[in-house]
């Protein structure tokens, strides 16, 4: 049986966790801090649980420099659950803003206000999506599904990167080709929000940073742009300006912890700007179910229902480990390490172009998920690559089932020495690899 130190795991998620966190977690799962109780057993309403939530929030705030304008929520449902939550919560915000504008102009005539907002809902509601991979595509499809009862054309696909890459994901086209909904201040309809997935795990595509056209702040509601980022797979791998986002969310099972926890960072003014359920229903709009309602979760300190306190504690331990490792450098230190690890792998892949072909364009390469083919996707060659890798205890390298190929996930807890081991294997395999012989030879 191999030891943990002998195995180099590059799975896309659930992802590796720091060994020190797992060891401490094993103790906490049986007897947390000599209480005689497991963290899986304590009440989520206990002082211990509340302290764990507060400590984890504090660690995340320190790492990301989260301003007072934003709140931190712990939720269920993973990133896919937030696909729905984003739509239901931010459409509610859009409706409430339109209702207030109507009330200011029409007075308190509820019927006229309802009729006006209903007309505006059909004519003006737009949700902008930047589709750069499988997950942003799924997010847009969920939005279209949820809003279908209101009619077609409410989802504005401002970017579909497949259109400039022969029908496949792998690039992020220039921003001047995007078709974002113009703000009302500029004569457009104005979007309820614009969504992007910062890192696409399936396709190995990552935004180099916040797109310039989304770096927009305004005190005028008619000119405001609510930016929503899915950072499930590159969370805490680099610095992020939280103040420029209305919402950031991510599942914990990549860089933060284990499954069961979804982190949501949301502007506080958004939490207090929702339409009432009765008004939404009168419009034919679904209100957020309580389990996905950001205002309800925030009001109850993420404890509206039973949260997995053990999982939140694990996330906090991971965060505190990052703070201890990088000290005053914080995420700048982790960013440098992530870049270094990714460069090690890409340099080897690029050095053997006849053997390895990186899937995404160089300008959009993910630091977290390195996706490539062996000998142009030759099935026998890729099977051999994976088998030989497994024999050397290099595990979790098979590409996503929807696209195939090879994928090495380079999350925060993957040690540098494991990346170096993989880089050495890539070199060795390339030197020994021979092109497949044509049939009949």
Across residues 296-301, what is the average pLDDT? 97
pLDDT at position 440 over 80: no
Q: What is the pLDDT of residue 218?
A: 78
Residue 436 pLDDT exceeds 80: no
Mean pLDDT of 118-143: 97
pLDDT of residue 441: 47
Q: How far is residue 13's CA from residue 83's CA, in Å, rounded to a whole number?
A: 18
The SS3 call for residue 183 is: coil
What would the DSSP string read from start to end of 270-293?
HHT-PPPHHHHHHHT-PPPPGGG-
Residues 30-82: tens digit of each pLDDT = 999 999 999 999 999 999 999 999 999 999 999 999 999 999 999 999 999 99
Q: Secondary structure of the chain: what % helix, strand, coil (to 5)? A: 50, 15, 40
417 vs 8: CA distance, rounded Å: 9
Q: Is the pLDDT of residue 439 over 80?
A: no
pTM of structure: 0.96
Give the closest residue to 394 by CA, choosing from 429, 354, 365.
429
Q: In what helix (H) or strand (E) does residue 248 lie, and over which residues does it extend?
A: strand 247-251
Is residue 434 over pLDDT 90?
A: no
The band of 1, judged by pLDDT with boundaries at 50, 70 and 90, is: confident
Give 194's strand partners.
128, 227
**Could you count the other beta carbons within 10 Å of the beta carbon of residue 301?**
16
Q: Is the pLDDT of residue 6 over 80?
A: yes
Place of tokens 């690890």: 341
pLDDT digits (tens, 9 = 90+) for 368-417: 999 999 999 999 999 999 999 999 999 999 999 999 999 999 999 999 99
What tens digit of pLDDT does each residue of 185-242 get? 889 999 999 999 999 999 999 999 999 999 987 777 888 999 999 999 999 999 999 9
The answer to whether residue 21 scores a pLDDT higher than 60 is yes
- pLDDT above 70: residue 299: yes
Specify the long-range contacts of residues 384-389, CB closer than 8 Å, at least 24 apart.
385/429, 388/425, 388/429, 389/425, 389/429
Taking only the tens place, the pLDDT of each residue in 83-100 is: 999 999 999 999 999 999
Instruction: Find the mean pLDDT for residues 334-341.
Output: 98
Work out the percent of the chain whose per-residue pLDDT is above 70: 99
Query: Using the 8-state DSSP alphabet, how is residue 239 labeled?
Result: -
Closest CA to 315 of 115, 72, 11: 72
Mean pLDDT of the chain: 95
Q: How far apart are CA 272 and CA 267, in angstroms?
A: 9
Q: Please, which residues have CB within 8 angstroms of residue 111's CB and are 6 or more apart in sequence?
A: none
In this prediction, residues 419-429 reach a mean pLDDT of 98
């Amino acid at each position: 049986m191999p030891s943990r130190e002998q195995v180099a795991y590059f799975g896309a998620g659930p992802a590796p966790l720091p060994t020190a966190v797992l060891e401490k977690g094993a103790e906490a799962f049986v007897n947390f801090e000599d209480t005689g109780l497991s963290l899986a057993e304590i009440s989520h309403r206990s002082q211990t649980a509340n302290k764990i939530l507060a400590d984890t929030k504090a660690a995340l705030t320190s790492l990301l420099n989260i301003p007072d304008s934003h709140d931190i929520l712990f939720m269920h449902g993973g990133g896919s659950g937030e696909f729905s939550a984003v739509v239901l919560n931010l459409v509610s915000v859009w409706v409430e803003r339109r209702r207030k504008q109507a009330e200011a102009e029409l007075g308190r005539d509820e019927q006229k206000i309802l009729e006006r907002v209903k007309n505006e809902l059909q004519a003006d509601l737009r949700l902008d999506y930047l589709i750069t991979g499988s997950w942003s595509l799924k997010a847009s499809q969920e939005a279209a599904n949820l809003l279908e009862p209101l009619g077609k054309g409410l989802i504005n696909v401002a970017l579909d990167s497949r259109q400039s890459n022969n029908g496949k994901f792998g690039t992020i086209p220039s921003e001047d080709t995007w078709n974002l909904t113009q703000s009302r201040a500029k004569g457009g309809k104005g979007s309820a929000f614009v969504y992007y997935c910062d890192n696409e795990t399936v396709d190995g595509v990552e935004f180099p940073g916040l797109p310039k056209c989304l770096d927009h702040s305004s005190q005028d509601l008619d000119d405001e742009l609510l930016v929503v980022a899915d950072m499930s797979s590159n969370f805490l791998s680099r610095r992020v300006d939280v103040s420029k986002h209305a919402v950031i969310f991510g599942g914990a099972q990549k860089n933060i912890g284990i499954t069961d926890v979804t982190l949501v960072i949301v502007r506080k003014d958004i939490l207090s700007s929702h339409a009432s359920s009765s008004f939404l229903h009168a419009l034919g709009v679904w209100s957020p179910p309580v389990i996905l309602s950001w205002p309800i979760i925030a009001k109850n300190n993420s404890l509206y229902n039973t949260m997995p306190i053990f999982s939140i504690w694990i996330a906090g331990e991971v965060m505190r480990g990052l703070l201890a490792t990088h000290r005053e450098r914080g995420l700048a230190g982790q960013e440098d390490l992530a870049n270094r690890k990714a460069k090690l792998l890409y340099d080897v892949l690029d050095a053997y172009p006849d053997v390895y072909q990186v899937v995404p364009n160089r300008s959009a390469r993910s630091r977290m998920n390195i996706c490539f083919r062996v000998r142009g996707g030759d099935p026998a060659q890729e099977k051999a690559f994976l088998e030989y890798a497994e024999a050397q205890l290099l595990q979790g390298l098979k590409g996503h089932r929807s696209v195939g190929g090879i994928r090495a996930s380079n999350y925060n807890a993957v040690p540098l020495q494991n990346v170096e081991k993989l880089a050495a294997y890539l070199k060795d395999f390339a030197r020994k690899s021979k092109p497949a012989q044509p049939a009949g030879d």
